[in-house]
Each structure stands twice: as structure tokens, then as C-alpha cells.
Amino acid sequence: MAVATVAAALLAALGGALWLAARRFSGPRGRRLQGGGDRSLMHGKTVLITGANSGLGRATAAELLRLGARVIMGCRDRARAEEAAGQLRRELGQAAGPEPDATTEGQLVVKELDLASLRSVRAFCQELLQEEPRLDVLINNAGIFQCPYMKTEDGFEMQFGVNHLGHFLLTNLLLGLLKSSAPSRIVVVSSKLYKYGDINFEDLNSEQSYNKSFCYSRSKLANILFTRELARRLEGTNVTVNVLHPGIVRTNLGRHIHIPLLARPLFNLVSWAFFKTPLEGAQTSIYLASSPEVEGVSGRYFGDCKEEELLPKAMDESVARKLWDISEVMVGILK
């Protein structure tokens, strides 16, 4: 009897997933695909994307390349990044046909960047500032999701260290180049899960207690507070910064999540039916990086290419300023 009940439940779930999947692909999806627009929209612009070798970052890189941008891939694993770059060049070359345009070979640059190492971030920025005359768009895309407790090279809790502190230092070190390249843009990838996080200034390093879900949410809340404080500091510079959530996307970001073996087929079906593809998830990043519609817009939170409201805790100016001040000390900008 119990087996029959479980089987019936699984069949019902399967049927529901298939029905909703059919609706997903037959009806309007409510997602605005930015690719396929003016192929010269980003011509002459240099874009840096962190974590561009897979998932959202790779999809963002591919679309901005198609729009004519010169894309710098900042990735921890250089070998994997070179492999991804080769695949992108081949894909774009094939898409361009027998007469490829300037979005193919020569417009994609791979550089090693480990956001879990402040030393790596500084070395990366030093090299970039020496080699690049301009930077039009910085996309803080890389992230780590709900990993077991571990620390960065500098002793920070990994999710807070990579998702917030690494990008905090990177952005600050590149602000001069972004200002000299103005009008320029900074795009920060956060998550709707920020709603479940809080900034505990007494235990930012999670040494008193560690909950991997809460710590991820806290790092994403930090992304939003950082964006809003940075927007305030950049007023009048013609450098804008906005933050977004991509939605639930099928990427390898959840590699640290354990799914029971028997549940994996159902999970895979549900993720296929309900989760966004990387290309769909990347649309808001592409929109904020390239669209004339958001020219001059700064300090806002976006989802599905439109502005969304934030919870009060994500708009707390005093918390944002305190987090900024503490982050400066943590990454060594201030002693």
C-alpha cells in the first residue's frame, strides 16, 4: 500500500511537471531575450566578467560578444576558462558564417582571477591596469553557493569572502579605470535569497556558528548593500552600478547541494521544467550591461530586466555604510 502511494505521488509529480513544462514552452515565458539585437551595440567597449567560463557568466559573455564587445574572462581555473573561450570562439565563428565579423577571434581575453585570494585579486588588477586603456563594464558575476564551512586564503568564510569581499576589492581597485572610461557601468549579480540573510557585524566570519544557507543569503544581501552604497559614492562620476537577481537557473552553482540518488531523476525533471536556462538567467545582466534604457540609472535592483522593490533591510543606509567601512579594513584598503 505504501509503495503504491509513493508511486502514485511520483506519477502525479511527473505529470504535473510535464504539464507545466508544456505550458512553459508553448506559452509566453515573460523573459526578455536581449541577444540578437544590434550587433554593434557594444562595439568598441571592453567588458570584464568574473566567473565567465560557465553558467550565467559564460552565457553573458557569449551574448555580449555577439553584440560586439571585447570580453575579458576573469576566472579561477585558467585551463577551464581557455577551454570555454575556445568553445565560444568556435560557436561565434559558426554563427557568423563564412565571413565572421569582429565579434570572433581576438575579442575574447582570458585572465586568471581567484576571488578567494586577495593576493590574486590585486595581481589581476595590477595586470589589467597596465594592459587595458579602458573598462566600460564590470560584471561581478562569480559566486559560490552553500558550500561546507571553509575559509579563503586570507581566512574569511568562503561565501562571504568570494561573493562579497573579493568583488569589493576588485571593484575598488578598478574604479579609477571605470571613471576614466565613463560613461561606464558596474553590474552586480545577487539573488532573491538575500531576503533570508542578515548582516551580523559581531560574526561576519561565521566563527561562532555556520549555516551554509544563511551565509549564502548574507553574502547576497551584502552585494545589494554594497551596490547601493557604491552608487551613492559614485554620484556625479557618470559611472553607474546596479544589482540584479537572475532567478532560479540550471547551473553548476549548486554543486555543493546533496540530492539523494533516488530523487535525482525527479529533481532533474523539475529543474528542466521550471528553472531558467543560463541564457535566460543571463538576460538581466546583459540588459544592465548594454541597454540604452538604463543609461544613467544607478543604485537599483532588477529582475527579468525590470526594476523590483527591495526589503527595508536591503535599503538600510547606516548598515550599508558600516559594511563598507568594515570591508575596507578586511580587504586591506584601510589599515
Q: Can 216 be counted among the known catalytic residues?
A: yes
DSSP category for residue 195: G
Whether 140 and 186 have beta carbons less than 8 Å apart is answered as yes
What secondary structure does DSSP assign to 52-93, as a single string? TTSHHHHHHHHHHHHTT-EEEEEES-HHHHHHHHHHHHHHHH
Residue type, 114: D
Whether 302 and 308 have beta carbons less than 8 Å apart is answered as yes
Whether 285 and 246 have beta carbons less than 8 Å apart is answered as yes
What secondary structure does DSSP assign to 77-142, as a single string? -HHHHHHHHHHHHHHHHHHHTTS--TTSTTSEEEEE--TT-HHHHHHHHHHHHHH-S---EEEE--
Whether 52 and 81 have beta carbons less than 8 Å apart is answered as yes
Residue 19 host element (H or E): helix 2-26
**249 three-state secondary structure:** strand
Residue 282 host element (H or E): none
What is d(CA 85, CA 53) in angstroms, rounded to the nearest whole number?
Answer: 7
Q: Which among 194, 216, 287, 301 is annotated as catalytic? A: 216
What is d(CA 234, CA 251) in angstroms, rounded to the nearest whole number?
Answer: 33
Which cell numbers in the block locate residue 196?
Answer: 533570508
DSSP category for residue 296: T
**Active site amino acids:** 216
